[in-house]
């Protein structure tokens, strides 16, 4: 194996534990906004977020009624529908080529379901992460010919696979690409060999569908195709909701409408595989199923299958209905998720220790992480790391250090990299800078916050230097964790009515976070440590001089020791049910000694 050595210095104290709190703006909700919403707290939150027009606010709180984008007007969709119509009329066999993450699995299941509803002979293939990479990289012609398919339609991949698609075309096999990943200018400058290329990145910047996930892009083709065949795609929106949440797509505009429409469909239980996943999880059945449930209990289990090897059980979970089969598949997903957690914890622990010590491995110790860069960016490499886990590790390092993190798994003469970035860094800009040095030979892609690819192992150090320089060009003067509470409230505002008001702003996720509240000078009446290691705190809170108490939960609240008697808090509101009792509870995100 090519030896990779670190030649750059590093800064060990990169962890950013506490946030800088930005005081909420003293914005008053207008009388018209309060009257329209019928809720002063909700009006304050929306006004603080810049939504002060009553009509806009009404639409925001009713996302399922947002205007629909017409996908037939998207670039490539008409051509895709035309080719699919020919395939249906001629009884062609179609191969759906997906991706192994949860977005790719849901997109694949959606497209296969849609094609079969139109009586198309549809088969599907997902790459095995251990042997293949994203997209059409290995033997697409042989695989397609083996099932007699004359059309390939990609889901969540394919936009950059010009050579494999050209090879398919030379073999007489057409390709329709549905892919939401960013397409570099160098690709757009060339004539794409696909019969149709459908990508939200081809839409104008402010188009409401610009941020579609892979599954949403697949739906943009499947829905009008089914409509043209006289069939409905409305109940496929459950998969759109799940995949969009799993991909951490921005929940704004068209995504917000699709998720708001799809979550009730998920709750109707039309896909028994979802119920099997939940019942096999440690949490068990959850009702109702919301965006948090999808993000924390469904998406990780589907993702774990693809991260550790074969993702096909995930697609089967979404398509099949035999209870015995589904229970076995769900158990497989649960086992994969537990193994994924253990492997990720081990990898992150190794990386953190390497970042703290900076000791290079000795010549006879080639299985310790090598810190290549730890400055504006963090780049760490090691032989033997599981390629399905490095993305998760990169995410955790990027979150804890607030720097773009690149984790490289070295295998023979190649290095496979996965990277994640905090808000201040655009990975596409950084990778464009890396691409200015063609000798590096990095091949890959992604989007602003997540990307991946590969290069020769001997080029990893050169990549690290170039990537760090590119990150430094974007770096703010001071790297700080910023907390922006929406509004300030008192403990008397922590009520079930307020918790219900907050839910009117759902679904929550990237682009529409749960409202964050600032509470000042709160007294801690009681504190109990929970969990096997006592890291979590169950608190009883009260205002100074008041006997009225409020319950609160502070996950990982004891990590820095006991809290003082009086604190300022940042937290969210929730409806908490326990032993048949329902009450409002504060979920604390951060606490500091009271400033009053």
CB 15 within 8 A of CB 478: no
CA atoms within 13 A on the CB side of 471: 29
Give a three-class secondary structure readout of 44-102.
HHHHHCCCCCHHHHHHHCCHHHCCCCCHHHCCCHHHHHHHHHHHHHCCCEEEEECCCCH
* pLDDT value, residue 390: 96
**Three-state secondary structure string covering 163-194:** HHHHHHHHCCCEEEEECCCCCCHHHHCCCCCC
Report residue 14's pLDDT band, with 50, 70 and 90 as the boundaries.
Answer: low
Task: Say which residues have a Cβ less than 8 Å from residue 387's Cβ, sequence separation at least 6.
Answer: 129, 130, 409, 411, 416, 418
Please list, in sequence order, all residues whose beta carbon lies within 8 angstroms of the beta carbon of residue 137, skipping any fewer than 6 positions away.
127, 161, 164
CATH class label, 71-336: alpha beta
Residue 284, pLDDT score: 54
> Per residue in 35-70, pLDDT tens?
999 999 999 999 999 999 999 999 999 999 898 999
Tell how strand 481-483 and strand 405-411 pair up. unpaired
Q: Which residue has the higher pLDDT, 479 or 528?
A: 528
State the average pLDDT over residues 570-594: 92
Write down the pLDDT at residue 359: 56
Half-sphere exposure of 335 (CA within 13 A, CB side): 8
Q: What is the reported pLDDT for 558?
A: 87
| Mean pLDDT value across residues 241-252 | 96
Residue 132 — very low, low, confident or very high, per pLDDT cuts 50/70/90? confident
> Quick count: other Cβ atoms within 10 Å of Cβ 438?
7
User: Tokens in use for 230?
Assistant: 């006289």
Residue 366: pLDDT band (50, 70, 90) is low
Burial profile 69-82: b = 16 or more Cβ within 10 angstroms, e = fewer: bebeebebbebbbe
Three-state SS across 248-306? CCCCCHHHHHHHHHHHHHHHCCCCHHHHHHHHHCCCCCCCCCCHHHHHHHHHHHHHHHH
Nearest Cα to 452, choosing from 517, 385, 499, 405? 405
CA distance 2 to 412: 7
Residue 517, classed as helix, strand or coil, is strand
Instruction: Tell me the pLDDT band of 114, cut-offs 50, 70 and 90.
Output: very high
Polymer length in residues for the chain: 596
Domains 71-336 and 485-596 share a fold: no
pLDDT category, 533, cuts 50, 70, 90? confident
**Could you state, in order of their start, the residue ranges of all structural domains in the chain?**
71-336, 358-481, 485-596
Beta bridge partners of 554: 537
Q: Please report the pLDDT score of residue 358 as a whole number.
A: 65
- Structure tokens given for 320: 């099949």
Q: In angstroms, how far is CA 334 from the centroid of its own chain? A: 19
What the block records as the tokens of 177 is 């690409």
What mean pLDDT, rounded, does the chain reach? 91
For residue 547, name the pLDDT band (cuts at 50, 70, 90). Answer: confident
Q: Which helix (H) or strand (E) holds 223?
A: helix 214-228
Render the burial of 584-595: b for 16+ CB within 10 Å, e for the rest: bbbbbbbbeebe
pLDDT digits (tens, 9 = 90+) for 498-511: 999 999 999 999 99
pLDDT tens-digit readout, 346-364: 999 999 999 988 655 444 4
CA dihedral 425, 430, 432, 435 (to 10 degrees): -160
pTM here is 0.90
Which pLDDT score is estimated for 187? 87
Q: Supply φ then ψ for residue 105, to 5 degrees.
A: -65, -45
pLDDT cut 70: percent of the chain above it:
94
User: Is 528:538 a contact under the CB 8 Å cutoff?
Assistant: yes
Distance CA 429, CA 584 (A): 44
Give the residue-averaged pLDDT of 209-220.
Answer: 98
Q: What are the residues whose beta carbons fall under 8 Å from the beta carbon of 342, sequence distance 6 or more?
A: none
pLDDT given for residue 269 in this prediction: 84
Q: What is the pLDDT of residue 123?
A: 98
- What token pair was written down for 258? 């699709």
pLDDT class of 579 with cuts at 50, 70, 90: confident
Q: What SS3 class is residue 454?
A: strand
Question: Does the pLDDT value for residue 335 go beyond 80?
Answer: yes
In the predicted structure, residue 1 carries a pLDDT above the cut 60: no
246 has pLDDT over 60: yes
Q: What is the pLDDT of residues 438-494, one digit of tens each?
A: 999 999 888 899 999 999 999 999 999 999 999 999 998 778 888 999 999 999 999
| pLDDT tens per residue, range 301-321 | 999 999 998 999 999 999 999
Residue 494, φ and ψ in degrees, nearest 5: -85, 85
Which architecture characterizes domain 358-481 according to CATH? Roll (3.10)
pLDDT in tens, 117-131: 999 999 999 998 877
Query: Which range, of 132-136, 243-247, 252-256, 265-269, averages the lowest pLDDT?
Result: 132-136
CA distance 578 to 446: 42
Q: What is the mean pLDDT of residues 421-444?
A: 94
Report which secondary-structure segment, H or E, holds 427: helix 427-435
- Domain with residues 485-596, CATH architecture: Beta Barrel (2.40)
Q: Containing H/E element for 374?
A: strand 370-374
Identify the pLDDT of residue 11.
46
| Residue 3 scores a pLDDT above 60 | no
Query: Which of 79, 71, 128 is CA-nearest to residue 99?
Result: 128
Cα→Cα distances 445→107, 115, 175, 186, Å: 19, 29, 20, 12
CA–CA separation, 226 vs 228, rounded Å?
Answer: 5
Cα–Cα distance list, 323 to 26, 281, 298, 468 (Å): 55, 16, 18, 51
């Amino acid at each position: 194996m090519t030896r990779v050595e670190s030649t750059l210095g590093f800064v060990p104290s990169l962890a950013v534990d506490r946030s800088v709190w930005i005081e909420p703006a003293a914005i008053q909700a207008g009388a018209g906004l309060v009257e329209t919403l019928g809720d002063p707290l909700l009006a304050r939150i929306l006004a603080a977020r810049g939504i002060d027009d009553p009509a806009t606010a009404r639409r925001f709180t009713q996302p399922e009624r947002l205007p629909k984008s017409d996908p037939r007007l998207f670039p490539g969709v008409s051509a895709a529908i035309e080719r699919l119509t020919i395939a249906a009329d001629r009884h062609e066999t179609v191969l759906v080529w997906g991706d192994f993450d949860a977005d790719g699995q849901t997109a694949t299941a959606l497209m296969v379901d849609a094609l079969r509803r139109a009586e198309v002979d549809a088969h599907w293939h997902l790459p095995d992460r251990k042997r293949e990479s994203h997209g059409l990289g290995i033997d697409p012609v042989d695989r397609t010919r083996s099932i007699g398919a004359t059309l390939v339609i990609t889901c969540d991949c394919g936009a950059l696979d010009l050579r494999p698609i050209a090879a398919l075309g030379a073999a007489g096999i057409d390709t329709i690409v549905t892919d939401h990943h960013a397409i570099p200018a160098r690709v757009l400058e060339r004539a794409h060999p696909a019969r149709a290329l459908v990508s939200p990145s081809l839409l104008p910047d402010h188009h409401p569908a610009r941020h579609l996930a892979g599954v949403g892009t697949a739906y943009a083709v499947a829905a009008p195709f089914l409509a043209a065949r006289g069939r409905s795609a409305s109940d496929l929106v459950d998969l759109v909701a799940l995949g969009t949440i799993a991909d951490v797509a921005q929940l704004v505009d068209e995504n917000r409408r699709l998720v708001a429409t799809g979550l009730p469909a998920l709750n109707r239980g039309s896909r028994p595989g979802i119920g099997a996943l939940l019942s096999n999880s440690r949490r068990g059945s959850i009702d109702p199923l919301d965006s948090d449930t999808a993000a924390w209990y469904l998406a990780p289990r589907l993702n774990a299958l693809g991260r550790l090897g074969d993702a096909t059980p995930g697609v089967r979970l979404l398509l099949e209905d035999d209870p015995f089969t589904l229970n076995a598949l769900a158990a497989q997903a649960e086992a994969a998720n537990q193994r994924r957690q253990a492997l990720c914890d081990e990898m992150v622990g190794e990386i953190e220790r390497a970042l703290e010590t900076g000791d290079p491995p000795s010549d006879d110790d080639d299985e310790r992480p090598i810190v290549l860069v730890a400055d504006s960016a963090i780049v760490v490499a090691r032989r033997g790391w599981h390629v399905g886990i490095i993305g998760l590790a990169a995410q955790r390092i990027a979150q804890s250090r607030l720097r773009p993190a690149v984790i490289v798994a070295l295998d023979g003469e190649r290095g496979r990299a996965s990277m994640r970035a905090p808000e201040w860094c655009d990975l596409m800009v950084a990778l464009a800078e890396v691409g200015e040095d063609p000798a590096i030979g990095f091949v890959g892609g992604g989007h602003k916050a997540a990307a991946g690819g590969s290069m020769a192992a001997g080029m990893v150090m050169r990549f690290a230097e170039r990537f760090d320089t590119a990150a430094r060009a974007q770096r703010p003067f001071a790297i700080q964790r910023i907390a922006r509470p929406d509004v300030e409230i008192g403990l008397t505002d922590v009520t079930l009515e307020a918790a219900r008001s907050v839910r009117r702003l759902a679904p929550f996720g990237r682009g529409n976070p749960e409202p964050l509240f600032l509470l000042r000078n709160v007294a801690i009446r009681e504190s109990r440590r929970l969990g096997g290691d006592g890291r979590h705190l169950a608190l009883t809170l009260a205002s100074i001089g008041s006997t009225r108490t409020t319950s609160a939960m502070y996950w990982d609240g004891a990590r820095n020791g006991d809290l003082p008697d009086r604190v300022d808090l940042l937290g969210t509101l929730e409806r908490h049910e326990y032993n048949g009792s329902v009450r409002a509870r504060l979920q604390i995100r951060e606490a500091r000694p009271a400033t009053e």
